[in-house]
């Protein structure tokens, strides 16, 4: 019976580690989303800069 209890505790520990791993994956995905959003912002700023340069050339 003690062995069964130990196995159950080990299973609980394993599940907790899996949950931790999933939470870390979620965090990583959120950071990737943030990075993509920052890249999109940078592209928009580059487009704005190009438009301003085009306007300056016309002037």
* pLDDT digit string, tens, across residues 6-59: 678 888 899 999 999 999 999 999 999 999 999 999 999 999 999 999 999 988
Distances (CA, A) of 20 to 8, 14, 24, 30: 18, 10, 6, 15
Cα dihedral sign for 17, 22, 26, 32? positive
Of the pLDDT bands very low, low, confident and very high (cuts 50, 70, 90), residue 5 is: low
Structure tokens at 25: 């994956």
Q: What is the pTM of this model?
A: 0.69
Q: How confident is the model at residue 1 (pLDDT cuts 50, 70, 90)?
A: very low
User: Given this model, what pLDDT does residue 59 score?
Assistant: 85
């Amino acid at each position: 019976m003690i062995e069964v209890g130990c196995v159950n505790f080990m299973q609980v520990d394993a599940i907790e580690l899996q949950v931790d791993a999933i939470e870390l994956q979620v965090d990583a995905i959120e950071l990737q989303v943030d990075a993509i959003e920052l890249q999109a912002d940078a592209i928009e700023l580059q487009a704005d800069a190009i438009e301003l340069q085009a306007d300056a050339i016309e002037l």
